[in-house]
């Protein structure tokens, strides 16, 4: 039993395999339908026949120009063995969405089977404008959705016309300025009951700032009449686009997958199941031209805001104290892209410390346009007391409706800043002090007259008067010098003579005294003696002999460096002479001899001892 089964299996396998291996594989591509309205799908079938081998490599359909791959591939195999003849095929089905209008060609597709590359024939698809097929083509009307009596009642399409499903993208204006809002709306027109709708992939909007306008879950629905017939219109997506740069931009098509309800002819089945059928639809591409913003009349404060705005600047109070913070609120409100609003130009505020602002923004869609408000809240710390003025804040925007720039500014805000409490003032306030800002430069102002306008160009020392002024004191000093020298010379020589002759004159007087002594004339003798002593001293000292008292004599002697003992001797000698002169009775010859000898000795001893004054 067992061997028999094995044999029979082998036999069968051999029979089955032989023709398969011998048959050459073939590939064929076909499209249904080959004529399609814009936005509708086509089905591409790639059939590999004549071999059960699976292909090593499938054609890449993602890069076919002019088509979007919406779904696929789905595979189905077919194997038949009839009367010793076998036929086998594999079918790959793709759902494609043709783009644009006209004849689109699917190029030869390469399939690699068993190391051999096979190519299909090119396939042509005619894309015709919407409605030109009279609603023909797809979706394939197998299992007609018109089985739904309610729908038929609502739409009441002509019974001969197959149902339609259209996706459309539209913008409210094709030419805009950068920053101006463009509203992009995706609408679905349907004659079916749509069970489910999914976005195939989220489209990218290059060159635009995108804000979603639709917020609620429910679609706007309304019946519309188009030239193709009556439809239910669903507004499925609404987006506000803000172009960022000038140029031409294309918004790529969007593709939806729809599941539409269909009811089988069997009312029993339709009671429990709601069979659906899926197919793809894509919108057309939309081109937007973005113009350059005009150069003319562009204020320097313009930072790219486009729309219509109002400016409001407030402070939370008008009176404050030094170091007591004041909140300065700048609020810009209006239509436009609030997110990208640049900070309004806040002027330099002197005597205030300013912190980075706190920014708040709020946006909402209002009647299809985005409106909102952006707030910058600055904290200002007054640093100096007095009436302070916050200069106007400037905000410029471009109004696309009038195609003109507008500059908003508020009135200056006056703040009265009272002196802060010294005790409360933080010591750290000092580092906040700023350099005195340079606001401008100019030449210094002209001068007013300080006194008379006189010629200053002269050289003060150039005149003769000046020279005279220099020479006069010089001459004066020279003459003073001359005169004093001369006088000194004169007086000097007189004294010298006297000094030199002092000794001789004294000896002469002493000789005369000796004569008087010989004649015993005591009065004359003593007088001669006294004058010899007195004149000797006067001559030596260079002083006048008259009026010399004893004290003065002693003073002169000590001034001229004579020893006190010597001075005493001189004084005693002179006193003795004077005494004897006025009392003659007491003087004898002997005494006169002794006085004479003493006087001679004193003069002799004094010689050379009296210094030159």
Partner 1 sequence: MRRFCGVVAVLGLALLFGGIGAARAAGASRSPDELFARGYEQYSRGDYAAAADSYREILSAGIRNSRVFYNLGNACFRRNQIGQAILYYEKALRLDPTDEDARENLRYANLRIRDRIPADDSPLLLALAVRARDLLRLEQVTRLFLGLYLAGMLLGAGWILANARRWAPHLGIAALVLFVLSLACGGWMLLQGRARTSADEAIVLVEKVEVLSGPGSENTLLASVHEGTKVRIHNRREAWVQVTLPDGRAGWIRGETLGVI
Q: Which of 24, 334, 359, 345 is nearest to 180 (CA)?
A: 334
- Give the residue with the Cβ less far from partner 1, 6 or 450: 450
Give the β-pairing of 319-321 and 413-418: parallel
**Do 163 and 276 touch, CB atoms closer than 8 A?**
no
- Give the residue with the Cβ less far from partner 1, 339 or 484: 484
> Does the CA dihedral 433-438-439-445 come out positive or negative?
positive
436 binds partner 1, rule: CB under 8 A: no
Residue 65 — left, alpha, or beta (φ > 0 → left; ψ -120 to 50 → alpha)?
beta
443 binds partner 1, rule: CB under 8 A: yes
- Give the residue with the Cβ less far from partner 1, 4 or 453: 453
What minimum distance in Å lies between the beta carbon of 502 and partner 1? 23
85 binds partner 1, rule: CB under 8 A: no
**Do 249 and 207 touch, CB atoms closer than 8 A?**
yes
- Give the residue with the Cβ less far from partner 1, 367 or 460: 460
- Give the residue with the Cβ less far from partner 1, 476 or 597: 476
The first and second tokens of residue 476, run together, are 């004066």
- Give the residue with the Cβ less far from partner 1, 268 or 445: 445
458 binds partner 1, rule: CB under 8 A: yes
Total site size for partner 1, rule CB under 8 A: 35
- Give the residue with the Cβ less far from partner 1, 356 or 456: 456
What minimum distance in Å lies between the beta carbon of 490 and partner 1? 14
Segment lying near partner 1 (by CB under 8 A), choices 349-357, 378-386, 430-438, 452-460: 452-460
What minimum distance in Å lies between the beta carbon of 560 and partner 1? 16
117 binds partner 1, rule: CB under 8 A: no
What minimum distance in Å lies between the beta carbon of 455 and partner 1? 5
Segment lying near partner 1 (by CB under 8 A), choices 211-219, 346-354, 357-365, 440-448: 440-448
What minimum distance in Å lies between the beta carbon of 468 and partner 1? 8
456 binds partner 1, rule: CB under 8 A: yes
Element (H, E) at 498: helix 464-518
Segment lying near partner 1 (by CB under 8 A), choices 73-81, 85-93, 458-466, 497-505: 458-466
490 binds partner 1, rule: CB under 8 A: no
What minimum distance in Å lies between the beta carbon of 500 and partner 1? 22
Residue 205 — left, alpha, or beta (φ > 0 → left; ψ -120 to 50 → alpha)?
beta
CA distances from 161 to 42, 136, 154 (A): 20, 8, 15
- φ, ψ of residue 478 to 5 degrees: the values are -60, -45
What minimum distance in Å lies between the beta carbon of 476 and partner 1? 6
> Does the CA dihedral 300-304-307-311 come out positive or negative?
negative
Binding mask 32-71 for partner 1 (x = CB under 8 A): ----------------------------------------
Q: Which of 423, 401, 266 is nearest to 336 (CA)?
A: 401
Among 455, 551, 565, 590, binds partner 1 (CB under 8 A): 455
- Give the residue with the Cβ less far from partner 1, 347 or 465: 465
Among 296, 448, 544, 586, binds partner 1 (CB under 8 A): 448
Among 22, 80, 142, 441, binds partner 1 (CB under 8 A): 441
Residue 115 — left, alpha, or beta (φ > 0 → left; ψ -120 to 50 → alpha)?
left
The first and second tokens of residue 436, run together, are 């005195």
What minimum distance in Å lies between the beta carbon of 554 and partner 1? 24
Q: How many helices (H) and strands (E) does the chain have?
A: 8, 30
Q: What is the DSSP string of 568-606?
A: HHHHHHHHHHHHHHH-GGG--HHHHHHHHHHHHHHHHHH
- Give the residue with the Cβ less far from partner 1, 469 or 497: 469
**Do 548 and 557 touch, CB atoms closer than 8 A?**
no
- Give the residue with the Cβ less far from partner 1, 225 or 459: 459
**Do 94 and 46 touch, CB atoms closer than 8 A?**
yes
Angstrom distance (rounded) from CA 511 to CA 375: 135
453 binds partner 1, rule: CB under 8 A: yes
Contacts of 380 (CB under 8 A, 6+ apart): 325, 326, 327, 328, 349, 352, 353, 354, 355, 390
- Give the residue with the Cβ less far from partner 1, 271 or 453: 453
Residue ranges in 460-489 that form contacts with partner 1 under rule CB under 8 A:
460-463, 465-466, 469-470, 472-474, 476-477, 480-481, 484, 488
Q: What is the rounded end-to-end Cα distance, in angstroms, of the chain?
A: 179
What minimum distance in Å lies between the beta carbon of 484 and partner 1? 6
Give the β-pairing of 229-243 and 208-212: antiparallel
What minimum distance in Å lies between the beta carbon of 373 and partner 1? 47
- Give the residue with the Cβ less far from partner 1, 3 or 457: 457
What minimum distance in Å lies between the beta carbon of 612 and partner 1? 12
CA distances from 546 to 343, 447, 506, 543, 602 (A): 114, 77, 16, 9, 21
Residues near partner 1 (CB under 8 A): 441-450, 452-463, 465-466, 469-470, 472-474, 476-477, 480-481, 484, 488
């Amino acid at each position: 039993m067992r061997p028999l089964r094995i044999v029979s299996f082998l036999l069968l396998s051999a029979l089955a395999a032989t023709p398969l291996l011998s048959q050459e594989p073939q590939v064929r591509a076909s499209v249904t339908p080959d004529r399609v309205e814009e936005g509708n799908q086509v089905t591409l079938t790639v059939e590999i026949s004549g071999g059960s081998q699976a292909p090593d490599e499938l054609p890449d359909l993602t890069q076919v120009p002019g088509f979007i791959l919406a779904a696929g591939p789905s595979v189905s195999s077919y194997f038949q063995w009839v009367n010793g003849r076998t036929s086998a095929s594999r079918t790959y089905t793709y759902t494609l969405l043709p783009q644009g209008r006209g004849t689109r060609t699917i190029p030869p597709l390469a399939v690699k089977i068993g190391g051999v590359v096979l190519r299909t024939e090119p396939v042509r698809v005619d894309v015709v404008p919407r409605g030109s097929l009279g609603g023909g083509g797809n979706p394939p009307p197998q299992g007609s959705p018109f089985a739904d009596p309610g729908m038929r009642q609502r739409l009441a399409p002509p019974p001969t016309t197959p149902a339609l499903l259209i996706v459309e993208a539209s913008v409210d204006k094709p030419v805009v300025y950068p920053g101006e809002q463009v509203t992009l709306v995706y609408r679905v027109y349907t004659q079916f009951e749509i069970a489910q709708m999914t976005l195939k992939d989220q489209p990218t909007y290059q060159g635009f700032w995108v804000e979603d306008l639709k917020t609620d879950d429910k679609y706007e629905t309304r019946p519309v009449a188009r030239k193709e017939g009556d439809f239910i219109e669903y507004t499925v997506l609404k987006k506000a686009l803000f172009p960022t740069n000038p140029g031409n931009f294309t918004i790529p098509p969007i593709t939806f997958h729809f599941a539409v309800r269909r009811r089988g002819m069997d009312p029993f089945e339709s009671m429990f199941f709601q069979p659906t059928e899926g197919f793809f639809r894509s919108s057309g591409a939309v081109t937007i031209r973005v113009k350059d913003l005009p150069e003319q009349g562009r204020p320097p404060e313009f930072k790219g805001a486009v729309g219509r705005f109002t400016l409001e600047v407030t402070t939370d109070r008008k009176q404050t104290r030094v170091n007591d913070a004041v909140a300065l609120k700048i609020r810009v409100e209006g239509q436009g892209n609030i997110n990208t609003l640049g900070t309004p130009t806040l002027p330099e505020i002197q005597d205030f410390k300013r912190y980075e602002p706190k920014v708040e923004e709020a946006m909402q869609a209002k009647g299809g346009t985005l409106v909102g408000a952006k707030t910058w809240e600055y904290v200002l710390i007054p640093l100096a007391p007095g009436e302070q003025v916050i200069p106007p804040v400037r905000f410029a925007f471009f109004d696309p409706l009038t195609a003109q720039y507008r500059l908003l500014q508020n009135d200056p805000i006056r703040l009265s800043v009272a002196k802060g409490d010294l005790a409360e003032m933080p010591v750290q306030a000092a580092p906040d002090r700023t350099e005195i800002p340079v606001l401008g430069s100019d030449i210094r102002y002209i001068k007013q007259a300080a006194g008379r306008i006189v010629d200053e160009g002269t050289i003060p020392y150039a005149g003769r008067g000046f020279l005279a002024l220099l020479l006069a004191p010089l001459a004066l000093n020279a003459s003073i010098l001359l005169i004093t020298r001369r006088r000194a010379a004169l007086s000097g020589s007189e004294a010298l003579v006297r000094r030199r002759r002092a000794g001789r004159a004294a000896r002469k007087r002493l000789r005369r005294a000796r004569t008087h002594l010989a004649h015993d004339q005591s009065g004359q003798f003593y007088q001669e003696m006294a004058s010899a002593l007195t004149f000797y001293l006067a001559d030596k000292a260079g002083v006048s002999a008259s009026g010399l008292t004893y004290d003065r004599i002693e003073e002169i002697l000590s001034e001229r460096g004579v020893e006190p003992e010597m001075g005493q001797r001189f004084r005693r000698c002179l006193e003795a002479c004077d005494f004897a002169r006025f009392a003659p009775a007491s003087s004898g010859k002997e005494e006169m001899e002794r006085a004479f000898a003493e006087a001679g000795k004193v003069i002799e001893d004094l010689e050379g001892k009296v210094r030159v004054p």
